[in-house]
Structure 1
C-alpha cells in the first residue's frame, strides 16, 4: 500500500517517520525545498543562528529514512474518488491513504491585508528572509500582535538594533497565555529592553509613503495615533490552510474536522497539525501537531490509535527570561476556579485549579523550581501517554534543531536545543 503525506512540518514529519517505522511506503510532498523548524525562526531573525542550522530534513536525509521526498513541489488538487493528488506540474500521484498536514497561513483583517512596501509577515522561512533583508537597512519597526510570535519577533528585531513598538488590542501582552496579574514582570522586561507597547489599541489601517509605513491606531478612549516606522510586521496569528481540503471535499469548520483517529469526513483521508480541528479546537502547537501526525499515521497503517485533548504547553525565552503558560489562563476558563500567585524577586508563578485539579500554570523568570516537575508529571501525564499511543519515542525528535543534531539509537535522529 502507498501512503502520501502533504506537508513537512511537525505533523507531516511525525507521520512519515511513523509510517516508515511500521514498514509502510510513504511519499512526503512539501512546497519547501528543505524541511525546517518554525520554532527556530526567531533565532534566525535575531542573528543567533545561521540558516543552515534550522533545517530538520533534506532530500538525502529523508531518503536515508526510507521516505520518498517530493520537495519544492506543490499539491494542487486531491481527487478522492480516484485517490489521486495532482501536483503543480500536472503529474498525478496515487495513494491508498492520504494525510493533509498543510499547516496554516498568516491572518490579517481585510483593512490590514494591503500589499504595501514595508509590510512584512513572520510565519515562514520566506517571510523571515524578506524581513531580514528589510531589517538590514531599517531603524524602526512596529509589530502588530503581542502573542508569542509577536514578542519573539520584537525580541529578534531589538537584537538587530531596531527601535520596536508592539501594538495589541487587549490590555496586556500574551493575553491567551498569561492572566492580567502575571503581566507586570513581562511589561517590566519589555520596557527594560527598549520595547514600546501600545495596549488597548486597534489598528485602523496602514499607509505608505516616502519609503516608510505608518500604522494608524485607535487607542484607549478613541484617541487617534499614527506610528511611522521603516517596517511593520503582522503577527496576528494564523488560519488553517484549507485549499486542498476544499478540493478533496472534506468537511471543514475553522479547520479540517477530524475525529479522535484524525480521519476526516472522507474515508482514507486524514488531517493533522495546524490545519486540523478536533472537538472545536485547533491547538496549533508543535508538540500537539507531532502527536496528531503519529496518531494519523498509526491509523493509516491499520494500528488503532486515538488523540485526546491536551492542555496547551507554551514556553518561550524573551530577552533571556523564560515565560511559561500551561493550560488556559483563568480569564478563559469556564466556571469558577481557584488562583494562587507567588512572587519571589524577579520570579512570578501562578497556579489555576478547578474541582481539585490543576488546570493552568504560568511562570515568568524561572523554569527550575520545586514542584514544576510534579505538576508536569501529574497534570500533564496525558502528554506522555499521547506520545506513546502515537508511537512517537521522544518529543525532542521534533524540536527546533537550533543548537545541533545528534543520532540516537535505531538510526533515528533527534534535534536538541541547548539545555534540554
Structure 2
C-alpha cells in the first residue's frame, strides 16, 4: 500500500472517534490534515504517530505493537509510540507525533508536536574522538547514533568506497531490476553529514591500527588519533579462480559501482550466466530477468538456498525463478569462461555475453588480525561488541558475537543486523553498557515474492511448516533439540513480527 493510499484510509481523527473504537493494545489507521496517522492505545495511554515507515514507506498500522513501540511489517523497523523515534534499524528517520485531546468519550487527534528522543546514555567526557573504519550499514548507523546520543566529540568515518553510504540491499533488487532510480540509493546527503558534523572521508584506506598510541595509519601516510574505534570493514566477494575469470564481461555485485556496471551491461547483453545460487546470485538473476535477459544459474547444490531455508522453501524459490524463465544447472560448477561462453564441469557449454559471480563473501579482517585483535571466522567481540582490545569495537559482517538466542558465537552477513550492531556499538563506545541482543532479521526478494527470516539456524533437526510454500503462503519454523531457532515466512508479515518478538523473549 502506498503512502497516498494510506492517507485515504480510516477516519479523519480531527473530527473525533468514539473511545470504544480503539481497545487496549489496539491500533487504528486514520488521517490528520491529509497525512496518514496511527492511533494506538496501551493501558490508559493513547499515542498518535505518523503511520508510514520512514524506511520503505511500509504501513505501520499493519505491523505489531510491542510495549510502547510499533514494528513495521515489511522490514521490521521499530518506532517509539511516545516520541516517534526510529529506535531500531532499518529505519533511520523518526515519524511525526501528534497531540491527542480527549473530550468525554471522544478522542481527537490534533496538530503535530515536537518530542525529544530518549537518550540512552550520557556520553563519557573522556571519549573525545570516535573513528569508524567503513562506510557501510554499520558504520553509517553508528555515526548517526553517536549524534542522536548527543555525543559532542569528533566523529570521523573512513570509507574505502568512492560514494557516500548507500542502501546496499537495493543494489541487487529494485535498483538493478530497473524499478528504482538511483535517487533511492544514498542513505544521506552530503549536507546531512555536514549538519551533523560527521567527517566522512571517501577513498580512505587504513593500512594499520596502532593500538598502543591509539592511532590509525592511512595509505597516504597520515595518522588519525582515536579514543574509541569501530571496525566496520564489511566483507569482500570471493573471486572466481578459473580460466577466463578476469575477462571484462565477468562481474561481481558488492558496491554501487558494481551495480552501475551491471546496469550498463544490460543495455547490450542478451544472455547471462550467474555463477552461484546464493541470495545475491538469485536476486541478481531475478533482476536481470526483469530486464528481459536470458539467465542461467549454476551451482553445486541440488536446490537453491537449501542450507539456509531448507528443502521446502528451496523448492519454492526454484519454482518462482523457473516460472519467470530462469534456467538452473545444479550439481556442477563453472570450469572456464571465454568471451561468449561458460563451460561447466559437467561439460555443458552455456552461451553468455554477461557473467555474474555470486559465490559468497569473506569478512575483511586483515586490519584486525595485524593489530593483534582476536580473530576467528570474523572479529571476536563480547556482548557489547567490544573486541579483545578495550575501546575497539566491531560491527556488521565482520563481527562474531555471542548470540543469546542460539547460544553460540555467530556471524551474520545481513544489512539490518549490521545497522543494529552499529547503533549498539555507538552507544557502548561512549560509555553505554547495552548488550547486543537483537534477533537477526533479513529479507530476500525473488521477483514478486519476499521471504522474511528471523533468528539464526546453522543447523536443525526438525522443520515445522504451516501453510503451503507452493502457494507462496507459509511459515517455516526451524528447531534443534526442540528449541526454536528461526522462522521464515512468505506472505505472513505479522507472523514474522510475532516470531521475532517470541524469539527475543526466550
TM-score (norm 1): 0.81
Equivalent position of 1:339 in the other structure: 464
1:379 matched residue in structure 2: 503
1:90 corresponds to: 221
1:202 paired to 2:321:
no
Structure-1 residue corresponding to 2:378: 255
Counterpart residue number, 2:263: 132
1:279-304 deviation digits (Å, cap 9, x = unpaired): 44210111211222222222211111
For the residues of structure 1 that align with 2:375 and 2:472, how far apart are their CA atoms?
45
Q: Map Cα deviations across residues 295-314 of structure 1 (whole Å, 9 max, x no partner).
A: 22222111112224x55423
- Runs of 4+ aligned structure 1 residues displaced above 6 Å come to none
SS class of match (1:359): strand
Aligned counterparts, 1:106-185, within 5 A: 106-111=237-242, 114-185=245-316
- Give the Cα separation in 2 of the matches to 1:107 and 1:141: 19
Q: Deviations over 1:221-277 (max 9, x none)?
A: xx4212220011011111111232234232222212222222222232211111222
* One of 40, 44, 57 as aligned partner of 2:188: 57
* Cα separation, partners in 2 of 1:28 and 1:53, compared to 1, 3 Å: same
Residue 104 of structure 1 and its aligned partner are, at CA, apart by 0.8
Distance 1:164 1:69, change over 3 A: same
CA distance in 2, matches of 1:96, 1:345: 54
Q: Secondary structure at the match of 2:454?
A: strand
The answer on whether the counterparts of 2:244 and 2:336 sit within 8 Å (CA) in structure 1 is: no
Q: Does 2:487 align with 1:361?
A: yes
Is the CA contact 1:11–1:273 (under 8 Å) kept in the aligned structure 2?
A: yes
Partner of 2:110: none
Cα distance in 1 for residues equivalent to 2:398 and 2:306: 23
User: What CA distance in whole angstroms lies between the structure 2 residues aligned with 1:132 and 1:196?
Assistant: 21
CA 1:276–1:374 in 2, change beyond 3 Å: closer, same or farther?
closer
Q: 1:249 to 1:184 in 2, by over 3 A?
A: closer
Distance 2:419 2:447 in 1: 28
Q: 1:302 to 1:357 in 2, by over 3 A?
A: same
Contact 1:322 1:367 in 2 (8 A): no
For structure 2, the 5+ residue unaligned runs are 1-127, 403-408
Q: Is the 8 A contact 1:182 1:348 kept in 2?
A: no
Where structure 1 has 5 or more consecutive residues not aligned to the other structure, the ranges are: 383-420
Which residue of 1 is the match for residue 12 of structure 2? none
Q: Which residue of 2 aligns with 1:47?
A: 178
2:463 and 2:254 map into 1 onto residues whose CA distance is 36
Greater Cα radius of gyration, structure 1 or 2: 2
More helix by share: 1
SS in 1 for 2:498: helix
Q: 2:343 aligns with which of 216, 228, 242?
A: 216
Following TM superposition, by how much is the alpha carbon of 1:191 offset from its aligned partner in structure 2, in angstroms? Answer: 1.1
Aligned length: 368
Q: Distance in 1 between matches of 2:482 and 2:445?
A: 30
Answering whether residue 388 of structure 2 is matched by residue 265 of structure 1, we say yes
1:9 aligned residue? 136
Question: d(CA) in 1 for partners of 2:211 and 2:434?
Answer: 23
CA distance in 2, matches of 1:199, 1:313: 28
**Residues 381/22 of structure 1: CA separation in 2 closer, same or farther (3 Å cut):** farther
Q: Is the 8 A contact 1:2 1:24 kept in 2?
A: no
Q: Are residues 165 and 14 of structure 1, via their aligned partners in 2, closer, same or farther at CA, if it must alter by over 3 Å?
A: same
Higher relative contact order (CA 8 A, sep 6+): 1
Deviates more, 1:69-78 or 1:339-348: 339-348
Distance 2:421 2:352 in 1: 41
1:362 Cα deviation after fit = 2.7
* Distance across 2 between alignment mates of 1:352 and 1:95: 43
Moved more, 310-319 or 131-140: 310-319
Superposition TM-score, scaled by structure 2 size: 0.68
